[in-house]
A = this chain, B = another copy of it.
Amino acid sequence: MTTLDEKFRALEADNAPGQEVRQDSVDLNTIMRGGTFSGVPVDFSHGDVDAFPPIPGTSSAWKHGFEKGGQQAYTEYRGAASIRESMADRLGTFTGTPVSADRELIITPGTQGALFLALGASVTTGTKVAVVEPDYFANRKLVKFFGGEIIPIPLHYQGPPSENSLDLNRLEAAFKSGTEVLVFSTPNNPTGLVYSSSSITSISALAAAYGVTVIVDQLYSRMLFSGEVYTHLRACDIQPENLITIMGPSKTESLSGLRLGTAFGTSKLIDRMERLQAIVSLRAAGYNQAALETWFQEPSGWMEKRISDHEAIRDGLLNIFRSADLFTATPQAGSYLFPQLPLLDIEPETFVRLLRHQAGVTVTPGSEFGPTSSDSIRLNFSQEHVVALAAAERIVNMIEVYRS
Q: Point out residues on A near B: beta carbons under 8 Å.
A: 1-4, 7-8, 11-13, 16, 18-19, 21-22, 46, 48-50, 53, 58-59, 62-63, 65-66, 69-70, 72-77, 81, 108-110, 112-113, 116, 121-122, 124-126, 138, 141-142, 145, 147, 254, 256-259, 271-272, 274-276, 278-288
Contact = CB atoms under 8 A, between A and B. Distances in A.
Contact of A287 (B13, B72, B257): B257
A13 B275 CA distance: 6
**Residue among A2, A124, A147 with most chain B CB within 10 A:** A124
A174 to B, nearest CB: 19
Contacts of A286: 256-259
Contacts of A285: 109, 257-259, 285, 288
A115 to B, nearest CB: 8
Q: Which 5 A-B pairs have the closest CB atoms?
A: A73-B257, A109-B281, A11-B275, A257-B286, A259-B285
Nearest to A75: B18
Question: How many copies of this kind of chain does the complex include?
Answer: 2
A125 B122 contact: no
A141 B276 CA distance: 10
Nearest to A1: B125
**Residue among A109, A110, A112, A145 with most chain B CB within 10 A:** A109
Contacts of A81: 21
Contacts of A281: 108-110, 112-113, 116, 259, 280-281
A75 B18 CA distance: 7
A131 to B, nearest CB: 14
Nearest to A114: B281
A234 B108 CA distance: 33
**Residue among A4, A19, A22 with most chain B CB within 10 A:** A4
A8 B121 contact: yes
Given A3-B124, A21-B76, A285-B258, A278 B70 contact: no
A49 B69 contact: yes
Contacts of A22: 76
Nearest to A275: B11
A178 to B, nearest CB: 15
B50 A275 contact: no
B73 A112 contact: no
A293 to B, nearest CB: 16
Contacts of A108: 281
A127 to B, nearest CB: 8
Given A258-B285, A285-B258, A12 B48 contact: no
Contacts of A13: 77, 274-275, 278
B279 A138 contact: yes
Given A4-B122, A124-B3, A285-B288, A279 B145 contact: yes
Contacts of A121: 4, 8
B257 A72 contact: yes
Contacts of A73: 49, 254, 256-257
12 contacts: A18-B76, A19-B77, A22-B76, A73-B254, A113-B280, A113-B281, A116-B280, A125-B125, A138-B278, A257-B287, A259-B281, A280-B281
